[in-house]
């Protein structure tokens, strides 16, 4: 059974993961509007990843005898000054999510909730990957800042991204 504080925190994380999906869907729509289909694809794949994260938390709360309580999702931004600005926002957002996951780990340690601490290890590793991926794209965009051909190549590269769900999640 989950501690009441942990259950509340995990429900807040479900909300944060759903917001992340909503944010990336908004970014996908932005990229579609400026005809960067590869960037839009990258964001759509990110939406699926964030939905998977939310589902992992959802299932975990239920598996531990808790109750999932969904709350309002705030509206995401809809405009960015450039692809670089959008990916800088992605990195900033992923750093926020990392801090939220770290807070959950801290709470699990405080409550001596070893099961939740173990469950969160996957998310700690995932966040390292999420931040590195966003930063890699930022560095490519910076290298090609005044090179429209470079932006075209990055767009073509991002169009190749596909979704691979984690083995332990059914969608």
DSSP string, 82-120: SHHHHHHHHHHHHHHHHHHHHHHHHHHHHTT-HHHHHHH
Closest CA to 105 of 119, 94, 91, 95: 119
For the chain, counts of helices (H) and of strands (E):
5, 0
**Which pLDDT score is estimated for 138?**
98
Asked whether residue 27 is assigned to any structural domain, the reply reads yes
The model's pLDDT over 68-103, given as tens digits with 9 standing for 90+, comes to: 999 999 999 999 999 999 999 999 999 999 999 999
Asked whether residue 18 is assigned to any structural domain, the reply reads yes
Asked whether residue 169 is assigned to any structural domain, the reply reads no
Q: What is the mean pLDDT of residues 93-117?
A: 98
> How many CB atoms lie under 10 A from the CB of residue 45?
17
* 8 Å CB contact between 40 and 31: yes
**Which pLDDT score is estimated for 168?**
65
**Which pLDDT score is estimated for 167?**
72
Helix (H, G, I), strand (E, B) or coil at 63: helix
Look at residue 170 and tell me whether its pLDDT is greater than 70.
no
The model's pLDDT over 129-154, given as tens digits with 9 standing for 90+, comes to: 999 999 999 999 999 988 989 999 99
Q: In CATH, what number is assigned to the domain containing residue 9? A: 1.20.1260.10
CA distances from 139 to 3, 110, 143 (A): 42, 38, 6
The model's pLDDT over 13-70, given as tens digits with 9 standing for 90+, comes to: 999 999 999 999 999 999 999 999 999 999 999 999 999 999 999 999 999 999 999 9
Structural domains of the chain, count: 1
Asked whether residue 163 is assigned to any structural domain, the reply reads no
Asked whether residue 151 is assigned to any structural domain, the reply reads yes
Q: Can you state the angle between helices 4-33 and 83-110, rounded to 10 degrees?
A: 170
Q: How sure is the predictor about 169, in pLDDT bands with cuts at 50, 70 and 90?
A: low
**Which pLDDT score is estimated for 30?**
98
**Which pLDDT score is estimated for 129?**
96
Structure pTM? 0.93
Q: Which residue has the higher pLDDT, 4 or 146?
A: 4
Range of the domain at 75: 4-158
């Amino acid at each position: 059974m989950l501690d009441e504080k942990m259950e509340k925190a995990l429900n807040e994380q479900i909300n944060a993961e759903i917001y992340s999906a909503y944010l990336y869907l908004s970014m996908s729509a932005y990229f579609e509007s400026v005809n960067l289909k590869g960037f839009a694809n990258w964001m759509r794949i990110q939406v699926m990843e964030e939905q998977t994260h939310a589902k992992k938390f959802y299932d975990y709360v239920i598996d531990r005898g808790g109750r999932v309580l969904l709350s309002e999702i705030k509206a995401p931004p809809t405009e960015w000054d450039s692809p670089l600005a959008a990916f800088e926002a992605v990195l900033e957002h992923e750093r926020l999510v990392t801090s939220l996951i770290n807070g959950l780990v801290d709470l699990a340690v405080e409550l001596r909730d070893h099961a939740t601490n173990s469950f969160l290890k996957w998310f700690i590793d995932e966040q390292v990957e999420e931040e590195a991926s966003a930063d890699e794209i930022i560095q490519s965009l910076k290298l090609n800042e005044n090179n429209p051909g470079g932006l075209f190549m990055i767009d073509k590269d991002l169009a190749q991204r596909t979704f691979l769900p984690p083995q332990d999640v059914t969608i």
